[in-house]
Amino acid sequence: MSPEEAVTMPTAGTKLRAEHLDMVFTRDGKSTPVLKDINLQVSVGEFICLVGPSGCGKSTLLNTMGGFLSPTSGTVSIDGEVVHGPDSRRIFVFQERGVFPWLTVEGNIGFGLFKLSRSEREQRLAHYVKMVGLQGFEEAYPSELSGGMKQRLEVARALAVDPDMLYMDEPFGALDSITRLTMRGELLRIWQAERKTIVFVTHDIDEAVQLADRVVVMSARPAVIQQIVNIDMPHPRDISSPRYLELRDGILQQIGLAHKI
Amino acid sequence: MNSLAEPHPWEKLLWPLLASGLLLVAWYYSVRWTGTKIFPSPLQVEKGMVELFHKNVLWSDIGSSLRRVAIGFGAATVLGIPMGLTLGWYPALNQVVNPVMQILRPISPIAWIPVAIIFFGVGDNSATFLIFLGAFFPIVVACVNGVSNVPSVYRRAGRNFGLAPTQLLARVVFPAALPQIIVGLRLALGIAWLVVVAAEMVAVDSGLGYLVIDSRNSGKRYDLVVAAMLMIGVIGLALDLGFRRLETIKSIRWGFGNES
């Protein structure tokens, strides 16, 4: 292998690499820089949370990684290949608004499985219905489900196509606080079972510290990466331990918020 | 009983019946007190209705009207839905076609009668063409709006799962737009039923519209005129109620906001 090739080869274990990402939105002749020189590497199987002030460009970064937006300059590559558009190996999970209201639970989970044989499809369906605890609701329509159930349904639909990455854009933002806590536990359980690489946007710093391997703290617009915090705590995490509080307060300070109201 | 309580089933039936009863009484006495010899009383209309049923013309007239609506409305559906979906799917194309459509749309199909007669002559085809015109535009407009109102989150999800454009249209955009399309179809069917009566007064010699105008022309039989009018109302209502049942199908019902 020549030295030049060695440079372009992804580091072993690197899933996603964002290099010198810049994003400028132009509207009515005015240009607004949103992302500025973002460099980030995500390892295979890693759980990354993006946090930052509201409107800073977290979602823009996520959409760029997911291929739904093209960066003004710079590249996103996954497994060494430059991303040019969305791909069923990498599924976006929205707030529960993303489930299809005209399909049943089974119809939704099976939505992306059109290339599989019937028996394979049914096997996957049964597996993921069970994994997200929707047994008995296979024939139900989303309008008959609670917010938390719809969110689980959307996660199941994403997992059913066996992607190697999940992009999650404030997925639990619309849920009540108790359901949100349960969903975090569920997501961790699923992540530990399936070992997907997850990039998760949230504005909730506690959520980030509870879930992530690393928390990427972004600045206000134009967003740069201000700091990347390693969360060196094994799961399940004790959210009243001194280490947890130390990490959380460190991030709050980074964003410029005191944690006393 | 407070005002939020659900009315009893018998109440739901009682008040509308009472209202119709009062209307019949008012009609009856207006005819009596004014002493009109032209306008029929409810009893005369009832006799007229029986006479129509006995003469067997009624069934064939109803059949003719329904057949014309089925053909005109059917053609409008078959052509209008693909056209509306296409225009909604390609906004650039819609910008080209939309101005022409917006000019044609407010023209009452009745105004097209002379033109229809030039194209199709006096006869069935003219009537069907007018019904088609009346139903076509509401269907196209409903489809265009339905498609452009599909939340982008659904399209994105569809693309994310690797759907090709035609699959995206069939599996995401069409079902997402369907509730709005159904509303457009229902509106169009209502218009089709209005237009068939008008068209039959001019272009043909069968159907409920012809029955109305013929009853007047051949001997000023206003009892038959009003009987035919009532028949038109009842069938129109039945068509609408039948169509409304579509809105309760589960894969469509989500679009009609009256659920939890």
What domains are there in chain B, each with its CATH number?
43-255 (1.10.3720.10)
In a domain, A160, yes or no: no
> Nearest Cα to A21, choosing from A216, A224, A228, A229?
A224
Distance CA A212, CA A162 (A): 21
Residues on chain B touching A100 (C-beta within 8 angstroms): 154, 157, 172, 175-176
Most B-contacting residue of A59, A100, A141 (CB-CB within 10 A), to test interface: A100
**Residues B161, A112: C-beta atoms closer than 8 Å:** yes
* pLDDT value, residue A57: 86
The residue-averaged pLDDT of B110-118 equals 90
Three-state SS for chain B is: CCCCCCCCHHHHHHHHHHHHHHHHHHHHHHHHHHCCCCCCCHHHHHHHHHHHHHHCHHHHHHHHHHHHHHHHHHHHHHHHHHHHHHHHHCHHHHHHHHHHHHHHCCCCHHHHHHHHHHHHCCCHHHHHHHHHHHHHHHHHHHHHHHHHCCCHHHHHHHHHCCCCHHHHHHHHHHHHHHHHHHHHHHHHHHHHHHHHHHHHHHCCCCCHHHHHHHHHHCCCCHHHHHHHHHHHHHHHHHHHHHHHHHHHCHHHHHHHCCCC
Task: State yes or no: cis peptide before A3, omega within 30 of 0.
Answer: no
Shortest CA gap A111–chain B (Å): 8
Q: Is residue A183 part of a domain?
A: no
CB contact under 8 A, B161 and A161: yes
Whether residue A100 and residue B151 make contact (CB cut-off 8 A), yes or no, is: no
Average pLDDT for residues B78-88, to the nearest whole number? 95
Q: Does residue B152 sit at the A interface (CB-CB below 8 Å)?
A: no
Mean pLDDT, residues A13-33 taken together = 89
Q: Which residue of B has its CA nearest to A97?
A: B153
Residues in B closer than 8 angstroms to A94, CB to CB, are 153, 157
Does A111 reside within a domain?
no
Preceding peptide of A222 cis, ω within 30°: yes
Residue A109 lies in a domain: no
Query: What does the pLDDT look like over A196-213, one tens digit per residue?
Result: 999 999 988 999 999 999
On chain B, the residues whose CB falls within 8 A of the CB of A141 are 250-251, 254
Residue A261, pLDDT score: 53
Alpha-carbon distance of B255 to A160, in angstroms, equals 26
Is A97's CB within 8 Å of B172's CB? Answer: no
**Alpha helices (runs of H) in A132-198, residue ranges in sequence order:** 147-160, 177-194
> Structural domain of residue A47, as residue ranges?
11-89+167-173+199-261
Tell me, what's the pLDDT at A259? 54
Please enumerate residues of A whose Cβ is less than 8 A from a Cβ of B: 66, 68, 85-88, 90-92, 94, 97-98, 100-103, 111-112, 114, 141-143, 161
- Cβ distance of B254 and A68 shorter than 8 Å: no
pLDDT score for A9: 43
* Per-residue pLDDT at A242 exceeds 80: yes
A87 DSSP 8-state letter: B
Chain segment A95-146, per-residue pLDDT in tens: 767 899 999 999 999 999 988 899 999 999 998 898 888 989 999 999 999 8
- As a residue count, chain A comes to 261
Size of interface A-B (CB pairs under 8 A): 53
pTM score of the predicted model: 0.83
Residue B192 reports pLDDT greater than 90: yes
Q: How far apart are CA B138 and CA B134, in angstroms?
A: 8
Is A147 part of a structural domain of the chain?
Answer: no
Mean residue pLDDT of chain B comes to 89
In this predicted model, what pLDDT tens digit does every residue of B54-76 receive, in sequence order? 887 788 899 999 999 999 999 99
**Is it the case that residue B240 has pLDDT exceeding 50?**
yes
- Average pLDDT across chain A, whole number: 87
Asked whether residue A2 carries a pLDDT value surpassing 70, the answer given is: no
Residue A43 lies in a domain: yes
Of B154, B253, B260, which has the smallest distance from its Cβ to A100's Cβ? B154
Range 167-196 of B in CB contact (< 8 A) with A = 167, 171-172, 175-176, 178
Contact A91, A163 (CB under 8 A): yes
Strand order in the sheet with A30-43: A30-43, A14-27, A73-78, A81-82
Tell me: pLDDT of B229 over 50. yes
CATH number at A16 reads 3.40.50.300
| Within a domain: A3 | no
How many structural domains does chain A have?
1
* A22 in Cβ contact with A39 (< 8 Å): no
Quote the CA–CA distance of A59 and A168 in Å, as a whole number. Answer: 9
Task: Say if A179 falls within a structural domain.
Answer: no
Closest CA to A51 of A237, A231, A242, A233: A231
Which of A68, A84, A102, A166 is best to mutate for the B interface (most B CBs within 10 A)? A102
Confidence of residue B235 (pLDDT cuts 50, 70, 90): very high
CB contact under 8 A, B161 and A97: no
Rounded mean pLDDT of B188-193? 94
Contact A88 B156 (CB under 8 A): no
- Interval A156-203: pLDDT, tens: 899 899 899 999 998 888 888 888 888 888 889 889 888 899 999 998
Instruction: Report pLDDT for B4.
Output: 64
* Inter-chain CB proximity B251 and A102 less than 8 Å: yes
The residue that leads in pLDDT, B52 or A105, is A105
Distance of CA A1 to the CA centre of its chain: 35
| Chain-chain contact of B175 with A142 (C-beta, under 8 angstroms) | no
Over residues A212-240, mean pLDDT: 88
Quick one: what percent of chain B has pLDDT higher than 70? 97
Burial A100-135 (b: 16+ CB within 10 A, else e): bbbbbbbbbbbbbbeebeeeebeebbeebbebbebe
Residue indicated by tokens 């009682």:
B14
